Chain A
Amino acid sequence: MADKILKEITLKVWRQKDAKSKGKFETYKIHNISQGSSFLEMLDILNEQLVSEGKEPVAFDHDCREGICGTCSLFVDGRAHGPDDDVTTCQLHMRRFDEGATITIEPWRCGGFPVIKDLIVNRGAYEQILQAGGYVSVNTGGIPDGNAIPIPKPAADEAMDAAACIGCGACAATCKNSSAMLFVAAKVSQLALLPQGKVEAARRAKAMVAKMDELGFGACTNTGACEMECPKSISIEHIARLNREFIKAKLKD
């Protein structure tokens, strides 16, 4: 069955020339959008229309367009990554919208992620948090055998769940406190659960939390909104583990 065509939809898009300028919403109408097209394809069509009208296209982040890189962002109709649960914006499709709909598109709003242009924000803050401790220090040498270190299956599974985080930033973007806890927790948890990462667990938890606080992200108040909007369904049980790791580490100081 052929996909339905949306004859007309209205887009309210945040336009901002650069980091310094004050942005504002612009309203655009676009026509004949197939419900089978993805949300980002719809934006591509809008941009072609803008280019043909001699206007500046809307800048938005995207890369893999298959939900694995975490580059796409966007706050669509008041929700991170749009109205669907457990997906990135590139996995969102126009069949979620009705004929004549008005869609509001905003960049992530979070002090830690300043807007660079239109809908693109700088998510370098997450990189900085990772650099503070989200790694395992390995001395060079021969490659150890894959199965040389026994890891219990439940720990491996939980670490894998945490490792699914793609660093998209939806957690901080959706959190009422702009807290980056889910992201930090996913990284801390993933490494703390594995023998290779356990060694540095205390230092890592302290360094990453300190960086997160320094960069101006808010404090977690356990609303749980982040796990609902996380495209990888990272559970806030990882936040409990981060709290545990952090408190343990601080008690030893």
Chain B
Amino acid sequence: MSNFISSSIGKKVVMSLSGLFLVMFLCVHLGINMLLLFDNTGKLFNLGCHFMTNPVIKVIEPILALGFIIHIAWASMLTIQNRKARPVKYAVRNQKGNCTWSSRNMYVLGAMMLVFIIIHLMNFWAAIKLGEGTAGVMEHITYDGVTMENVYPHVVATFTNPIYCILYVIGGILLGMHLAHGFWSMFQSVGLCNNIWRKRWSCLAKLFAIVVAAGFSIIPIYMFFTC
């Protein structure tokens, strides 16, 4: 395995595997968020959040952070290396016909999402961890004898704010664009692709991108109008 990680293909494998890990996290995240659509009292969502405090998730949390850090660090290394590979740029360049905008701008999309993620973490993660969120002090609520944090009012307070609402919709769309390329790229980079599977992966990638983008953007829009 000598020099595998430092080789160009090895770096891509790191991107692919960390990406896969983040995709799995996204699925869980989206699943729990979806609970917001089915219960305007917030009970389902609060129960979902409470479930996420179980010991297994506690162990996964730092690994998740590491997943993000690795994905970002390797992407930065690759971007620097790739930019260095063309010291003199073209004066005229037309790539409209040969590849998609998102595939060319994965790093830009990633950077914009990073800004979003920081705001998002301040909105919720910090609120839950530090006890003070968008709706003021974090209250507790008891369902069937179990006491848990009442996260729901903070979600309502965030999403009924038009600026945050729009921001979260944009976040969802950026994520979708990133995934439209990233999802199929994940398989290509580890060699799990050929001309038949490429069609399948890219089709699945588009579908997944739409589901994730629509899923994450529908929630703030829905809550903006119903809460």
Query: Which residues on A are within 8 Å of B, measured CB to CB?
Result: 25, 75, 77-79, 85, 104, 106, 109-112, 115, 174, 176-179, 181, 209-210, 212-213, 216-225, 228-229, 235-237, 239-247, 250-251, 253
A54 → chain B, closest Cβ, in Å?
Answer: 27
The answer to whether B194 touches A240, judged by C-beta atoms less than 8 angstroms apart, is: yes
A78-B93, A220-B12, A247-B190 known; A253+B82 contact, CB < 8 A: no
B147 → chain A, closest Cβ, in Å?
Answer: 48
The answer to whether B97 touches A228, judged by C-beta atoms less than 8 angstroms apart, is: yes
B10 nearest CB neighbor, chain A only: A250
Give 28 pairs: A residue, B residue, CB < 8 Å, sorted on A.
A77-B92, A85-B97, A109-B86, A112-B85, A209-B8, A209-B9, A217-B8, A218-B82, A219-B82, A220-B8, A220-B12, A221-B185, A223-B181, A225-B98, A229-B98, A237-B193, A240-B188, A240-B191, A243-B12, A243-B189, A244-B190, A244-B191, A245-B191, A246-B191, A247-B9, A247-B190, A247-B191, A251-B1
The answer to whether B8 touches A179, judged by C-beta atoms less than 8 angstroms apart, is: yes
| Segment at the interface with A among B56-64, B100-108, B122-130, B208-216 | B100-108
The answer to whether B90 touches A235, judged by C-beta atoms less than 8 angstroms apart, is: no
At the interface, yes or no: B143 with Cβ under 8 Å from chain A? no
Q: Which of B4-32 contact A (CB under 8 A)?
A: 4, 7-13
The answer to whether B92 touches A78, judged by C-beta atoms less than 8 angstroms apart, is: yes
Docked CA distance A240–B82 (Å): 19
Docked CA distance A244–B13 (Å): 11
Docked CA distance A112–B98 (Å): 22
The answer to whether B195 touches A237, judged by C-beta atoms less than 8 angstroms apart, is: yes
At the interface, yes or no: B226 with Cβ under 8 Å from chain A? no
At the interface, yes or no: B78 with Cβ under 8 Å from chain A? yes
Docked CA distance A106–B89 (Å): 10
At the interface, yes or no: B84 with Cβ under 8 Å from chain A? yes
Residues of chain B within 8 A (CB-CB) of A115 are 88
Contact among B8, B89, B95, B97 for A218, CB-based, below 8 A: B8
Using A223-B98, A228-B97 as known contacts, list a sample of 7 further A-B pairs with CB atoms less than 8 Å apart, ordered by residue number in A. Answer: A104-B92, A178-B86, A209-B7, A209-B9, A218-B85, A219-B11, A243-B12
Contact among B2, B7, B78, B89 for A221, CB-based, below 8 A: B78
B86 nearest CB neighbor, chain A only: A178
B204 → chain A, closest Cβ, in Å?
Answer: 15
Residues of chain A within 8 A (CB-CB) of B184 are 222
Contact among B81, B92, B191 for A106, CB-based, below 8 A: B92
Residues of chain A within 8 A (CB-CB) of B2 are 253
The answer to whether A243 touches B190, judged by C-beta atoms less than 8 angstroms apart, is: yes
Contact among A78, A217, A223, A244 for B103, CB-based, below 8 A: A223
A228-B98, A229-B98, A247-B13 known; A179+B85 contact, CB < 8 A: yes
Docked CA distance A29–B11 (Å): 47
The answer to whether B189 touches A223, judged by C-beta atoms less than 8 angstroms apart, is: no
A75 → chain B, closest Cβ, in Å?
Answer: 6
The answer to whether A176 touches B188, judged by C-beta atoms less than 8 angstroms apart, is: no
A239 nearest CB neighbor, chain B only: B188
B78 nearest CB neighbor, chain A only: A219
A78-B93, A220-B8 known; A176+B82 contact, CB < 8 A: yes
Residues of chain B within 8 A (CB-CB) of A75 are 90, 92
Mask of B40-70 contacts with A, CB within 8 angstroms, 1/0:
0000000000000000000000000000000
Residues of chain B within 8 A (CB-CB) of A220 are 8-9, 12, 189
Residues of chain B within 8 A (CB-CB) of A179 are 8, 82, 85
The answer to whether B7 touches A237, judged by C-beta atoms less than 8 angstroms apart, is: no
The answer to whether B191 touches A243, judged by C-beta atoms less than 8 angstroms apart, is: yes
Docked CA distance A111–B82 (Å): 10
Docked CA distance A241–B106 (Å): 23
B83 → chain A, closest Cβ, in Å?
Answer: 8
